[in-house]
Amino acid sequence: MNTNQPGLFDDLPTSPDEIICGVDEAGRGPLAGPVFAAAVILDPSRPIDGLRDSKKLTEAKRDLLAPLIKAQALAWAIAEASEAEIDKLNILHASMLAMRRAVEALKVQPTLALIDGNRCPVMKIQSIAVVGGDDKVEAISAASILAKTARDAALVTLHAAYPQYCFDQHKGYGTALHLERLRQFGASPVHRRSFAPVRAALAAGPQSLTEE
């Protein structure tokens, strides 16, 4: 298993037949759009240079690495949990659901999942949580990149449907611009109604365009 920290899993009982996937999510914090997750099984014979936590890479670098991961990994899958599922389950459990869906969608069945963070989704296979795993384990880094690029692309698509919110600029995060547009136009169908700023916008209603 390739990691950025030699010895990190020396105490893990693995065998040559172990098939390990890395898993990460993207989009827990935004006020709109689904939460995405990805699972990746890397091919040791086809290493990919530059894998690390997607948040530490530029958008251009992520966009270069994502197709390489898809082309060279043994298997990869991307899944999501919708805004309605986030509001029903809460964002933590919706993130777990998206991660489980990603693992279950892999075309190669893994025997072990390494999950970024301190919690694991309930799955049929063994899973281990790795705090900071997206910058320690290359398979998790790869999953981080796929989840992030997929979610960013989804928000650009949502921008075409709801251009007044400028999703292409802030990707749904609670920036000053996004909060301003929420106050002005109210919440869209893709906003997460369980999140406090969206609840506040729903309670206040859209402002008049002539309001100061």
Binding positions for a divalent metal cation are 24-25, 116
User: Is the distance from CB of 41 to CB of 72 less than 8 angstroms?
Assistant: no
Tell me the binding residues.
24-25, 116
Residue 56 CB coordination number (10 Å): 11
